[in-house]
Amino acid sequence: MLRPPSIGGDNRHDPLIVTVSANVRPNKEPRQNSSKRKTQLQLPPQEDSWNYHDAWLAVSGKRSPSTAVHDLFKKSSLLYKPEWVTVLPAAKQGAYLWGTINYLLGNVGRDYSKTVAVLAQESASAQMTYALSAKAAADAPTFSNGEQYIAMHHLQETNYYLYSHGYFPYGVYALRAEVLKYTNDSYTYCVTNGFNGQFKYYGEAYNVISAPSGSNYEKCKANVMQALHLNATCQVQNCTFNGAWNGGGGAGLDRLYLARGFYDAGSDTYIAGKPSTELRLLEYEKVAKMACEVKSFEEAHVLLPVVDLVELPYVCLDFVFVYTMLVDGFGFDPMMMVTAVKEVEYGGSLMTVEWPLGAALELVSSNNTRKDDI
């Protein structure tokens, strides 16, 4: 059983893992469990457009922690110095989440080929993480810009060489801005018919005007392909999108778990209704085509009653992007079986998959290694 490091004694200077989160969404409509409920629906008004600027930038590693975060620590009883508080890089967050999921599945301590790959979607980035053999890690290319794709992580007396990369700006909300900037001040085929408002992200406001004929899968996908930068310059042969190296693949990529935003999207549309659901990637395309075919906001709500009203105009865009990123960006087969995961059964209980457990596991493992060396 994993135990947290003790506070005090010889461990009093060990880093303490504290997760700081913020609710930056406006008040949302409660989820409805029945499509039969009669209601008067209205499009989310323009003044309710979301602005993810401040909180998401800090969480996604785009800037330093805010003054509010530092104030929180100053007022606490914790031993604190400003330089001890930092933003977790996306690649490291992905590696910690990989550790969490593989630990809960019972894979940590086994050969790298027995582990699963993890692809998570946060607000600002998508994070791909999987294990490589020691030889593949040693043979990995070097990059003139100094970017590091592979790092060694020590977990329960086992060294894992992890490919971990944060794909910016392809998180749940950043990707919307990335697509909408190509259609700003003109109509888009990626939002529900009748929607007219603004989407705010990273201090920028994007005008969102639905096409007269409504959303369209193929035309929306053309905008998404443009936003993925599939033909971006790549320093090595094997790349995914936006000029990023794919890690070379291997046994550690044979089994793929989709987490965070990928799971939430599936949960909202019933293709991933359980804590852990196996499905084919093709299911995401089916939902994308269905969402892009609706002709009104009301029809979309009847079809997808559990999707929050402020999210509903973007369902076509979100699912087209998810499927296109997985298949055209990462190159996965549409028929590939994957697991959409939110919780994993462990010790008779369902454990939510979050990165702090992986961070704690690595901390405990490194402490044990240091003690053995003394």
Q: What is the CATH number of the domain that holds 219?
A: 3.30.420.150
Rounded Cα distance, 202 and 49, in Å: 13
Spell out the residues 6+ positions from residue 101 whose beta carbon is closer than 8 angstroms to its own: 116, 118, 257, 259, 341, 344, 353, 358
Quick check: is 289 in a domain?
Answer: yes
Quick check: is 37 in a domain?
Answer: no
**Residue 371: pLDDT band by 50, 70, 90 thresholds?**
very low
Quick check: is 339 in a domain?
Answer: yes
Rounded Cα distance, 312 and 293, in Å: 13
**With contact defined as beta carbons under 8 Å apart, do 155 and 98 qualify?**
no
DSSP class of 314: G
**Residue 368: pLDDT band by 50, 70, 90 thresholds?**
low
**Residue 145: pLDDT band by 50, 70, 90 thresholds?**
confident
β-pair type (256-260, 196-201): unpaired
Average pLDDT, integer, range 96-118: 98
pLDDT at 218 over 60: yes
**Residue 66: pLDDT band by 50, 70, 90 thresholds?**
low
pLDDT value for 214 = 93
Say what the pTM is: 0.81
pLDDT at 220 over 60: yes
Backbone angles phi, psi at 341, to 5 degrees: -130, 135
Q: What is the DSSP string of 9-75?
A: GGGTTSPP--------SPP-PPPPS-TT------PPPGGG--B-HHHHHHHTTSSPPPHHHHHHHHT
Quick check: is 307 in a domain?
Answer: yes
pLDDT at 29 over 80: no
pLDDT value for 94 = 96
pLDDT value for 14 = 40
pLDDT value for 351 = 96
pLDDT value for 144 = 82
pLDDT at 327 over 90: yes
Quick check: is 221 in a domain?
Answer: yes
What rounded mean pLDDT belongs to the chain? 82
Average pLDDT, integer, range 111-136: 97
pLDDT at 44 over 50: no
Q: How many domains does the chain have?
A: 1
Instruction: Provide the Cα torsion 277, 280, 284, 290; round to 10°.
Output: -100
pLDDT at 100 over 50: yes
Quick check: is 210 in a domain?
Answer: yes
Angle, nearest 10°, between helix axes 315-324 and 282-293?
150
Average pLDDT, integer, range 314-328: 96
CA distances from 134 to 113, 161, 188, 204, 246 (A): 11, 7, 47, 43, 17
Average pLDDT, integer, range 327-352: 96
Asked whether the bond before 4 is cis by omega within 30 degrees of 0, the reply is no
Quick check: is 73 in a domain?
Answer: no
Going by C-alpha positions, the residue among 194, 191, 192 that lies closest to residue 223 is 191
Residue type, 11: N
pLDDT at 258 over 90: yes
**Residue 30: pLDDT band by 50, 70, 90 thresholds?**
very low
Average pLDDT, integer, range 60-82: 72
Give the range among 22-26, 107-111, 238-242, 275-279 with minimum mean pLDDT. Answer: 22-26
Rounded Cα distance, 311 and 297, in Å: 11
Rounded Cα distance, 330 and 241, in Å: 7
pLDDT value for 185 = 72
Quick check: is 15 in a domain?
Answer: no
Angle at 203 between CA 221 and CA 93, to 5 degrees: 70
Interior/surface letters 178-195, b for 16+ CB within 10 angstroms, e for the rest:
bbbeebbeeebbbbbbeb
Structural domain span for residue 237? 89-373
pLDDT tens for 171-202 read 999 999 999 988 877 899 999 999 999 999 98
Rounded Cα distance, 118 and 354, in Å: 12
